Amino acid sequence: MARIHAHTHGKSHSARPTSKDIPSWITHSQGEVSSLVVQLSKEGLTSSEIGSRLRDEYAIPLVKPILGKKITKVFDENNIKLDMPEDLNQLVQKAVGLQKHLRAHNSDHRNVRSLELIEAKIHRLSRYYKRIGKLQKNWKYAAVIAQLE
């Protein structure tokens, strides 16, 4: 799949397990895996961080074959509410870091354009999440591009 603001096809990705079956070495039951997900979410980890932690520390390559559902569905079932979806949160953090950089280096015009592209992604994603109900209708990202120019 091509990138949104670049004219390239991305090659970098993680190698997922080839089989969707439950591996034979896993000794954890469905309840244990579900409770691990809930426990790690209470520590403040995001769903991707929980997946990495389960893979690295508990030797669970994928949660979905074991539980039959994704980590976010486990969140919903246990009434664990996130402020905003993880991908939108990552984009907002990236924009905040770039704004901090631009305050210190105000002549960095290339990154002004990068900030515009990131904010366009944020607005696009927020419209989608508002439409499907994962984000409040009154949520708004405060752009600061006008302050930079």
Q: pLDDT tens digits, residue range 49-65?
A: 999 999 999 999 999 99
What is residue 141's predicted lDDT score, i.e. its pLDDT?
87
What is residue 145's predicted lDDT score, i.e. its pLDDT?
43
Q: From 28, 52, 81, give the residue that closes a domain.
A: 81
Are 39 and 105 members of one domain? no
Question: Which of the two residues, 135 and 13, has the higher pLDDT score?
Answer: 135
Give the number of domains in the chain. Answer: 2
Residue 10: pLDDT band (50, 70, 90) is: confident
Asked if the model's pLDDT at residue 114 lies above 90, the reply is yes
Are 52 and 39 members of one domain? yes
Q: Give residue 7's domain range.
A: 1-81
Q: From 81, 102, 124, give the residue that closes a domain.
A: 81
What is residue 143's predicted lDDT score, i.e. its pLDDT?
67
Question: Which of the two residues, 32 and 149, has the higher pLDDT score?
Answer: 32
- For residues 97-103, average pLDDT: 91
- For residues 114-137, average pLDDT: 93
Ramachandran class of 22: left when φ > 0, alpha when ψ lies in -120 to 50, beta otherwise: beta
Are 99 and 62 members of one domain? no
Are 66 and 97 members of one domain? no
Are 96 and 136 members of one domain? yes
Are 73 and 94 members of one domain? no
**Least confident stretch, 70-74, 124-128, 140-144:** 140-144
Are 72 and 128 members of one domain? no
Asked if the model's pLDDT at residue 146 lies above 60, the reply is no
Q: Residue written as tokens 């896993």? A: 26
Are 107 and 58 members of one domain? no
Q: Residue written as tokens 């979410």? A: 41
Q: From 81, 105, 135, give the residue that closes a domain.
A: 81
Number of Cβ atoms within 10 Å of the Cβ of 148: 16
Are 60 and 98 members of one domain? no
Number of Cβ atoms within 10 Å of the Cβ of 135: 18
What is residue 3's predicted lDDT score, i.e. its pLDDT?
75
- For residues 129-145, average pLDDT: 83
Are 47 and 111 members of one domain? no
Q: What is the C-alpha to C-alpha distance for residues 16 and 84, in angstroms, rounded to an integer?
A: 26
Are 16 and 76 members of one domain? yes
Are 37 and 91 members of one domain? no
